[in-house]
Structure 1
Amino acid sequence: MLRLASMLYSIIGTTMAGTLIIAALTAGYDTLVPILIAAGIGAVAGIPISYLVAQAITKNKI
C-alpha cells in the first residue's frame, strides 16, 4: 500500500500545493514567503490524504 500511496502522492501533493498557491495569490499575497508557505502546507497535507485514498482503494471503498 505504501507504493500506491507514494504514486498517488505525486498527483495529490502537487494538486494540493497548487490549489493553495492559487488561493494565496487570490487572497492578495503576492510575495515569495506566503506562496512558499502555501506550497509547503499543501505538500504536507497531501501525505495523509494520499495514504487515506490508497487505503480506500485497497479496501475497495471507492
Structure 2
Amino acid sequence: MLKIAVLVWMIVGITLAGVLVVVIVTVPSLYAQGMSLIPIAAAAGFLAAIPAALVIAKKIQSLTVSRG
C-alpha cells in the first residue's frame, strides 16, 4: 500500500500545491507577499496531501485485493 500511497501523494500534492500557488498569484492582497507565501503554500499543499493519499490508497487497495 505504501507504493500506491506515494504515487497518489505525488499527484495530489502537486495539485494542491498548484491550487494554493494560483490562489496566491490571483488574489491582489496576497500577490504583494508572494515571494514569502508561495513556498509556504507549496509545502502546505504537499503536507495536506499526505492524509488524503493514505485514504485514497487504502480505498484503491480495498477495491483491488481479492476477497479469497
TM-score, structure 1 normalization:
0.85
Is the counterpart of residue 32 in structure 1 residue 24 in structure 2?
Answer: no
Q: Say which one has the larger Rg.
A: 2
- Equivalences, count: 60
Structure 1 CA distance for aligned equivalents of residues 52 and 42 of structure 2: 15
- What CA distance in whole angstroms lies between the structure 1 residues aligned with 2:13 and 2:7? 10
SS in 2 for 1:59: helix
Q: Which residue matches 2:44?
A: 41
Q: CA deviation at 1:40?
A: 1.1
Provide the C-alpha distance between the structure 2 equivalents of 1:51 and 1:12, rounded to a whole number of angstroms.
11
Give the residue type in structure 2 aligned to 1:12. V
* Corresponding position of 1:21: 21
Between the aligned partners of 1:24 and 1:15, the Cα distance in structure 2 is: 14
1:59 pairs, out of 51, 58, 62, with 62
Residue 12 (str. 1) matches residue 12 (str. 2): yes
Q: CA RMSD in A?
A: 1.1
TM-score normalized by the length of structure 2: 0.79
| Superposition misfits of 4+ residues, deviation over 3 angstroms | none
